[in-house]
Structures are given as C-alpha cells and as structure tokens.
Amino acid sequence: MKVIVPVKRVIDYNVKVRVKADGTGVDLANVKMSMNPFDEIAVEEAIRLREAGKVEEVVAVSIGVKQAQETLRTALAMGADRAILVVAADDVHTDIEPLAVAKILAGIVKEENPDLVICGKQAIDNDMNATGQMLSALLGWSQATFASEVNLDGDSAIVTREVDGGLQTIKVKTPTIISVDLRLNEPRYASLPNIMKAKKKPLDEKTPADYGVDVTPRLTVVSTSEPATRQAGIIVGSVDELVEKLKEAGAV
Amino acid sequence: MAVLLLAEVTDGALAVDATAKAVTAAAALGEVTVLCAGASAKAAADEAAKIEGVAKVLCAEDAALSHRLAEPTAALIVSLAGDYSHIVAPGTTDAKNIIPRVAALLDVMVISEVTGVVDADTFERPIYAGNAIQTVKSGDATKVMTIRTAGFDAAGMDGSASVETIGAAADPALSEWVEDKVAESDRPELTSAGVVVSGGRGVGSEEDFALIEKLADKLGAAVGASRAAVDSGYAPNDWQVGQTGKVVAPDLYVAVGISGAIQHLAGMKDSKIIVAINKDEEAPIFQVADFGLVADLFDAVPELTEKL
C-alpha cells in the first residue's frame, strides 16, 4: 500500500505574525518557516503505518515555493521514502488556494495510485480547513476528516473523528482521504543521522502545468489588517476585588 | 440573490443557536432557504421555520443522511445548488467536513469561517488563528462558505416560514457510521462554552488540574489548557486552546498559571472578558487581561472558587 502525505511550508507556530504595512498580507520575508503542525502529525501517522507493515511506501508532496523543499526534507528525515515538489509560486507571499492544491494533488494521485492520502486538517496560515475534503470530492473518494484514531482494515478504514462535543467513528471505503487532528499522535523529531540520510532520498520537481492545473486564485485579497487590539485592563489586589470586578462587569 | 443555508441538525434536533446566528449572516446576502437534512429532520425543520429571516425550509429525510456523513450530504446540497447564489453553513465540525466538499464539486473556492459580510461577493475572515483579518472578494459563480457564528447575534424566533419536503440525492455509499461518543463530561463543550477556565504549566501536575476543574464547575465552565500544560501531560490534548488547538471566544475566559505565549493568545484573545491569575507579574497574559491577579494560583484559585 502506498500513502501520499501533502505537507505545507508555513510560518513557524511560535513566530509572531506581522501584517505588512501596505495591507497586502502577512510579512513572511526572513521569518522562520516550518512544516505545518497538523502535517507533521500526518507524516508521523504514515510512517507508523509503514513501521506496522501496513504500508510499503510514504510519498511526501508539497505545493508552493521552491523553498518548500526544506519542508519535504524534514518529512524525508522523519521517515518518508521520497518526495515530490510542485513549484507553483516564486514569491513566498503567494498562497496557493486549497482548490488548486487539491487539483494538483488529484493529478499526482492519478499518477501514483496510492490507497490512502493522509493530510493535516488545516494549515495554520490560511486556516481554510479544506484541501482534504476538496481532494476527496475531486477524486470521488470517501473522506474521514479530523481523525484522532486510524485503523486500516482490508479495503476499508475505521476512523475516529474529533467532532463538536465528542467523537464520531466512521468506516470508509479505501481508497480514502484522511485529514488528521491533534490527538492522533505525537510527531517524532528527526535524528541527525536521518537528516543526513534524507539529503540523499529522491525529490522530484514538477510544475502545476505538468498536471494541467491553473493556480490563478479564485479569491482576491482586498486587504489584510491587524485584528482589533486588546487594551490591557487592570491589576486587582485580591481575590475579593476580582470577584467584585467580575460582578460589576456582569461576568459572573 | 438566494441563499441556501445548511442547518446544524444532530440526531434529528436543530442546533438553534448556531443556525440562528448563521441566518443573521446569511440574511445580509439574500433570501434565505434553510436545509434540514437527516434520518429524521421534520422536527428540526419545523423549529428552523420559526427563525426570523428564513423564507423557506427544505426538509430532506433519508437514512443515508443520518449522522451527517459528508458524501451523501454534499451530494444533496450540490443537487440543489443551481437555484442559489450562496451556500452557507454555521462553522461546526459537521459543516467544515461537508462544505469544502460541496465547493470542490461545484468547482468553486470555499470561504471558511466568515466573520463579516462586506457585500454579496466580499467577506472578512480570520487567518493565522485570528492574528490577521483578511478581506477577500470571490470571483466564483456560487459563493460557498462557513460562518464563524461567535461574531453574529442569533436571529429571533418569531418567524413562520413554510416547510417543503424534498428527496435525498443518490447516496455515493462510500462511508458508514459506526458510533458516536459524546464527551462524558457534564461540562459544556469547549468551543461553544460561555465560560472557559484554562490551566497552564504553572498548575504543575495532572493532579493539581483538579483545582482548575473545581473552579470551572463552580462557574459552569468548560476546561481548557495551554499547549505547555498539554505537552507536560497535565491535561488531555482535546482541552488545548491555541493556534494548534481550539479557538474559543467565550464571554469569560479565566487563564490560570498561563504565561500567555503567542500561540495560546491566538486561541482565546477574542474572549469578551479575560481574567489572568499568575504569580509572574511580567507574564504577557496580563497584557491582554481585563482583570489580572498577581498571586500564587494554589492560594488564589481555591479562594476564588469559594467566593464566587
């Protein structure tokens, strides 16, 4: 069984986001970039499935700027077998929309014929939470989103999903798309020897044109602004004063 | 302009608050038709018909639509899509599962978690977990979106729309429901709770998280945790509030022993009132707190629990 894992290069989750002064977006020049945290969980799950003997090959895919090859090398260092980079933008500030990403991934799926695509439930930059669902729609496959537990069982997968207020377990026919949530696993750190080994693993470079996909955005960004800032309030001197203030504010 | 709004229906019951808030957002776009789908949806449809601003309710009852599986529900919406300029749903986990699938089937880009409607094509939505607000204009023929309901007031319940029964679309039969496990807790669900009490690394141990839980129960609150507390094993991951966890915006957020790392602030800074209890007066959490108390949480939290 082959698994494809899409990974996205995003601003590191510990970096403070700064909106560009001209309102065109968030400043990503000279900012620490990392693999999207949800995608790390997806890579980890795919590798665990291979270690459990249920999967033979894990292929990591990234769609974006050329620098996303660093993200793919991270996936390879964690244990992915090979990687495909689809260079779809020159400027680090260009975000390829989930619909275009899903179309490119659908092209890759047709070439690679995996049984499973495991992806992060959302990227922490555009917060769209859409690529897995869109890919599933384009392929006419089943989908199991927000997974916190995955069990492969012959030609189906039993997936427990994180939903509002609890968990839902569903059984989906394979091939399928699984999007992963936080509780699924804790991703490993790549060891230094594995980082060295990852440099020699195959990494193919492609373009959207190779898959006949137009990445022109459907949504035009009109402006990007800072959210309303919060004013720091007051420091109270005691628990009694806190209770009093909360009562005054109608909060309790 | 005509809007199709997928109502939140769980096991035959309408989630009135989420649906009525989404109706408020949708009413700014055009005439609103609400779709109630499920194995049983008639009671939910009758309830949805009372929401003010709803012109019509469509009720689709079919075994395939039970448990809101994405494939048959998306197929149903796509079969109706031709009559509408906008397809919207409250941003629940059900809708986040279904709506992007609908968008891809219609070859349009989804617009997730809309917090503001500028005009029929232009919407505001948070990116980077709310650290920036983006205004986007859609060039697609049909606008397909989810609504972050926290920012909209619920529409009233004095309406009287007509209810029309419709059939389900063909079921792609790609998935089946196995079971639901509703969280055992009597506490409210974290993302929709009116009050949230969260603990951080300062709480120090899994056992001492009981202090946080006691305060939460006193306030009828959900319990949250910072990533640091989760990573230290003090709290389960599904309690995590922050950029890599859940984004919450309750009326009252009490942060206990939480320093206020960027990634945590991203998940709670839209709360109406923020209270911070921390012994480190330099902690960044105090910069966003309405009421800060510099104190040892092991003294202050039990005292607060008692005095509330």
Mean predicted confidence (pLDDT) in B250-275: 93
Q: Quick check: A232 and B101 CB within 8 A?
A: no
What is the biggest distance separating any 2 CA atoms in chain A, rounded to whole angstroms?
Answer: 67
Q: Quick check: B109 and A227 CB within 8 A?
A: no
Quote the percentage of chain A above a pLDDT of 70: 100
pLDDT of residue B237: 79
Confidence of residue B238 (pLDDT cuts 50, 70, 90): confident
CB contact set of A178 (below 8 Å; sequence gap of 6+)? A45, A116, A117, A118, A119, A132, A143, A144, A145, A147, A150, A157, A159
Contacts of A249 in chain B (CB under 8 A): 273, 290
Gap between the Cα atoms of B290 and A230, Å rounded: 9
Mean predicted confidence (pLDDT) in A129-154: 97
pLDDT at B183 over 70: no
DSSP class of residue B220?
T
Contacts of B261 in chain A (CB under 8 A): 14
Asked whether B128 and A128 are in contact (CB, 8 A), the reply is no
Q: Quick check: B304 and A239 CB within 8 A?
A: yes
Confidence of residue A107 (pLDDT cuts 50, 70, 90): very high
On average, the pLDDT of chain B sits at 94
Mean predicted confidence (pLDDT) in A146-173: 93
Mean predicted confidence (pLDDT) in A154-176: 93
pLDDT of residue B185: 75
The model's pLDDT over A43-93, given as tens digits with 9 standing for 90+, comes to: 999 999 999 999 999 999 999 999 999 999 999 999 999 999 999 999 999
Structural domains in chain B plus CATH codes: 2-166 (3.40.50.620), 190-307 (3.40.50.1220)
Order of strands, sheet of B2-6, starting from the edge strand that comes earlier in the sequence: B110-114, B143-147, B86-90, B2-6, B31-38, B54-61, B162-166
Q: Taking the alpha carbons of B97, B84, A99, A114 in that order, is the dihedral positive or negative?
A: positive
Distance between A202 CA and the closest CA of chain B, angstroms: 31
Interface mutation vs chain A, best among B110, B138, B177, most A CBs within 10 Å? B110
3-state secondary structure A194-235: HHHHHCCCCEEEECHHHHCCCCCCCEEEEEEECCCCCCCCEE
Distance between B248 CA and the closest CA of chain A, angstroms: 13
pLDDT at B92 over 80: yes
pLDDT of residue B244: 77
Q: Quick check: B175 and A170 CB within 8 A?
A: yes
pLDDT at B284 over 80: yes
B129 vs B89: which has the higher pLDDT: B89
Asked whether B216 and B223 are in contact (CB, 8 A), the reply is yes
pLDDT at A166 over 90: no
pLDDT of residue B79: 97
> Chain A residue closest to B189 (CA)?
A165
> Chain B residue closest to A245 (CA)?
B291
Write out the two tokens for A86.
């689809």
The model's pLDDT over B4-40, given as tens digits with 9 standing for 90+, comes to: 999 999 999 999 989 999 999 999 999 999 999 999 9
Mean predicted confidence (pLDDT) in B47-51: 98
The model's pLDDT over B193-217, given as tens digits with 9 standing for 90+, comes to: 899 999 999 999 999 999 999 999 9
Q: Quick check: B308 and A221 CB within 8 A?
A: no
Question: What Å distances lie between residue B162 and A61, A149, B32, B35, CA to CA?
Answer: 49, 42, 12, 12
Q: Quick check: B103 and A134 CB within 8 A?
A: yes
Q: Does A226 touch chain B (CB under 8 A)?
A: yes
pLDDT at A33 over 90: yes
Q: Left if phi > 0, otherwise alpha if psi is -120 to 50, otherwise beta: which for B97? A: alpha
pTM score of the predicted model: 0.91
> Chain A residue closest to B303 (CA)?
A239
Nearest to A182 by CA among B69, B246, B183: B246
pLDDT at B164 over 80: yes
